[in-house]
Structures are given as structure tokens and as C-alpha cells.
Amino acid sequence: VLSVDTIRILSDRHAKPSYLFFQYGTAGFRTLGVVLDSVMFRVGILAALRSKKLDGKTVGVMVTASHNPEPDNGVKLVDPRGEMLESAWEVHATNVANAQTSDALIEVLQNLVKTLRIDLTKPANVIFARDTRPSGPALIESLQDGLQSVGCVGRNAGVISTPILHYLVRTINAKGTKEDYGVDSVDGYMEKLSSAFLKLVKGKQVSPPLLVDCANGVGAHSLEEITKYLKGSLQLIGVNTATGSTGVLNNACGADYVKTTQRLPPSLAPYLKPGERACSFDGDADRLMYYYLDERGQFHMLDGDKIAALVAAFIVELVKGSGLEGQVRVGIVQTAYANGASTKYLSDRLPVKCVPTGVKHLHHAAESYDIGVYFEANGHGTVLFSRDTTEKLANHQPITPAQSTSLNHLMNLMQVINQTVGDALSDLLLVEVILAHKSYSGIEWDSLYVDLPNRLVKVVVADRFMFKTEDAERRLISPPGLQQKIDELVRRYEAGRAFVRPSGTEDVVRVYAEASVRSQADGEYMLLSPKPF
């Protein structure tokens, strides 16, 4: 049974503010760091219970608010294969977080143990980490109290990026199995990525020194580490690496700034020369945005859609080159935010699926392909190789030296890619490998297709839960009549497309519009006259 007295004593120290409601959304719990104490304590308990339910497999807990402002924080659970928490448990998490008193909490927990038939005698293994936010250390202590209240010690992985935590969870659980995923340490991660990278770029001309905007977040640590392993083959120059300063995280820098403003972070302006490319991580280093200045100094963005196009084309080429055409199907997953031009470009070549926003939806859909490439336009994405494909590649007998080379490249790509979740560092290495192989600069990469001009804005509404969608969030079914109005507006514009959906991470509604001409995409924006970013 649960040691009710211990839970009560510790829970009283982490009382829930009665006036708040917490929701486990697409990115776990996310709100102001100062109100998350009770949530952290309870997530500690829940993580331990989830591990027990899964027969003692290791479960991850990541404390981060990603690209959101510095005062925000959040927490999400990571399942044993390094994936997002199973949906059914999101509801349990919300229930646990909202029990008003310690007694109410104990009751919810006892119910959970009973209905889910959790065997409390099983071990609980939890690994946890945080990003660089100032509110992090105190929140980690609350989390540890939660773990302790159910007799779980947990492993503190310290301050690391979200994708490294996902990697650690997967490696720990895969250890000693057929699906071994590497060594469960930061060094193991760096070693795995970098050694595959070095094999892939051997004898190739790699990028000149590359500026990497770390958003003043934990990605700066990853960058510093990987540099030691790259042995000068790729020079990465960190900008916005001030993880010790307050007030600078994600501030006028980082992947989200680039995507939403479609501008160069001002802090990079003194360094980036016309003709050169650079990239930005977000605050927890799971998103990556590339961009370059053309010869006239004009800014061009290479977002998640462009990364997906580059990566998918290269993988298709390698699959063909290995002699596996027809045996290994490559497919793409996007969301409604994918630029219409990217969807057209990709669906002319490959199967493309559109799913609702949220990594878990993309990840899940990508699992249905032999090799599934998924990217959100905002730069979050990865590539999944199915179990069958992994075996097929390992057992395939190439019949020519060229086939053997392609197959080797594919096997090494699998090692560079963090298949658990989007990973800015791993995606950066992947992109640089492909650019080196294709001898592409930013300009050639960009010319795969031309983005349709677009606008994404947030609008504050009285009740965003009134907005209900269908068709992978591309159409509204509520409030009544609104979709018709959007349809009427969209019809007036060439290649027009627009949709409205409630955010899962902020108390706003997002409005997206695109059209063949910039002024027309903006036209939608003016008509709706919402608050700009």
C-alpha cells in the first residue's frame, strides 16, 4: 500500500494553490515557474507509479518550458522508449495535479493504484533533469520530495537538453536487449552522434565555421560538449550562450524567435555575413531553425519544412542507392502549419500525412512508415526507422560497391539521428552531413521549393475551449459559422489557406494564413486585426 502518512506530511509542504487549474497538455504542464511547486511534487509520485506500472522500467521527467519566456517552467514525463507519455496517463496527471488537498490527493492516488492495478511492490526507476531556468533547482527539489514520498530515489541527470534526457531514458531501458541504443550518459550520447557524423563526412568538404544561436539555454552546454568530439571537422561557434545570466533565455533569440518573427536574431547581425548560413536552437534544444543571408544581405529562413524536404530527399536517394527501392517505404508527417509549398513539393514525391499539432501525434504517425520523417514547421522533428527496417538494413547484402556505400551511409545516419524526439544538435549534424554530401549552400537547399508567404499570429479570446477543430485541426466545427467566414475569405486569394485552432500550450487562439503573394497573406492578418507577437 501507499505510505499515506509520508505522502501527507510531504504533500502538506507542497500545497496546491486552490485557485489554479493545471492541465497536462501537448507539452506536459506548463505555466509560470512560481506556481508549479505542487505540480512537481505530484509528478514525482506519478512518475514513480508509472515506472511501477511498467514493471520497473525507467521513466523520465524533464523540467523545462522550452521556447517560452524565462519565468515560465514546466514538466513532462517520458515513457521508457524515450517517447512522450501515453495519452491515457495525461488525464491521470491532470487529475493528480488538481486534487485540492493532501487528503484529496491521497484518494486520487489510491484510486489510480486500484483502477490501473499498479503493483506497489515493483521497483520505481525514474531519471530526471532540468533546463537552465532559474526556477529549476527548487522545482527539482519538489520533484524529489514527490519521489521520496513513495520510496523512490531517482537518478538526477542534472542540467541537460530535453533530447538528451529522452536519449538517456531509451538507452537505460534498452541496455542488454536487442535494441541497444548506446551508453546511458551525456558522453555516450556525444560519442554516438559524433562518431557517426565523422564517418559520414569523411573526405567531404564540411561547412565553414557555423554560427549556432543557443537561445542562452541549455543547448549551449550541448554545443560545448560536442565540440570536443568533432575534432575540428565541423567548427561550431556558439552565440547567445549566457546560461548563467538572468533575463536572457529565449529573449530576442532562439528558434521560436526566428520562426515567429521571420527575422535574424539581432545578436547575430554583427557576425553573419552575406552568403553565410547559421542556425538557432530553442531554450531546451529540441528545435532547430536554419537561415542564411543572400548576397544582398537579405534574410531567408530554412525551417522545419525545409529540413524535412532536405532529409527525406537524401534518405530516399540512399534507400535507392542501397538497392532497397520498393522494400523500404519512406513517408512524411506534417501538421497544418507546414507551408503549402512544402506539402506540394513533398506529396509529389512521397506519401505525406497531416496530423494535429503535438509531437506525440507526429511521432505516432511516423511509426507507420518504414522510415518516417516528421518535422513541425517550427523546427521540431526527427526520423524514425521501424524495427523491421533496422533489421532489413542490417541484413541487406549490397551487390555493388556503390550500394555498399549507400547502405553504410544509411546505417550511420541512423546513429546520428536521435530517434526518440526532435533534437536540435542531432538535426544540425544531420543537416550538415546532407549539405556536405550534396555540396549545397543555403541557397541551393532553399531552392528545393519556394515558401508561400504566410502569417501566424495569436489572438486572446474569452474562452479558447470554444474553438473545436476537425480534419487535423484544419477546420473549425465550433464556434458555429466561423469556418464558413474563413472559407469565404480564403476563396478570394490565390493559393489561399487559413485556419484557426486553440493553442495547447498558451491561453490563446492561433491564426495561420498563407497566400501566393505576401500582401495577401498579410491581408488576412489585417482583417482579423489581432495582437501581433
Considering the candidates 11, 38, 66, 222, report the single residue annotated as catalytic. Answer: 66
The yes or no reply on residue 282 touching Zn ion (CB under 5 A) is yes
Q: Are 327 and 476 in contact (CB under 8 A)?
A: no
The C-alpha atoms of residue 67 and residue 506 are separated, in whole angstroms, by 12
By CB under 6 A, tell whether 23 contacts ligand NG1.
no
398 binds, among ligand NG1, Zn ion, none (CB under 5 to 8 A by kind): none
Say whether residue 286 binds Zn ion (CB under 5 A).
Answer: yes
Q: Is 66 a catalytic residue?
A: yes
302 φ/ψ angles, rounded to the nearest 5 degrees: -120, 95
Cβ contact 221:110 at 8 Å: no
11: left (phi over 0), alpha (psi -120 to 50) or beta: alpha
Of residues 29-88, which lie at the interface with ligand NG1 (CB under 6 A)? Answer: 66
Name the segment binding ligand NG1 (CB under 6 A); options: 34-42, 46-54, 124-132, 498-506.
498-506
Nearer to Zn ion, 11 or 243 (CB): 243
In the bound complex, what is the minimum distance in angstroms from residue 503's beta carbon to ligand NG1? 3
Under rule CB under 6 A, residue 506 binds ligand NG1: yes
Q: Per-residue string for binding with Zn ion, 54-93, x by CB under 5 A?
A: ------------x---------------------------
Closest CA to 41 of 22, 54, 57: 22
- What x/- string results for residues 338 through 367 when contact with ligand NG1 is judged by CB under 6 A? -------------------x----------
What span, in angstroms and rounded, lies between the C-alpha atoms of 38 and 19?
13
Beta bridge partners of 475: 470
| C-alpha cell recorded at residue 231 | 575534432
**Measured between alpha carbons, how far is 201 from 191 in angstroms, rounded to an integer?**
15
Measure Cα distances from 500 to 123, 225, 258, 390, 473 in Å.
45, 41, 22, 39, 8
Q: Does 335 bind Zn ion (CB under 5 A)?
A: no
User: Is residue 382 near Zn ion by the rule CB under 5 A?
Assistant: no
Shortest CA distance to 465 belongs to which of 426, 515, 513, 504? 504
Binder among 14, 361, 409, 510 for ligand NG1 (CB under 6 A): 510
- Which of Zn ion, ligand NG1, none lies near 510, with the C-beta cut-off 5 to 8 A by kind? ligand NG1
Nearer to Zn ion, 128 or 467 (CB): 128
- Among 452, 437, 454, residue whose Cα is nearest residue 313: 437
Regarding 503 and contact with ligand NG1 (CB under 6 A), the answer is yes
Mind telling me the catalytic residues? 66
Q: Which residue ranges make up the site for ligand NG1 (CB under 6 A)?
A: 26-27, 66, 337, 357, 376, 378, 380, 503-506, 510
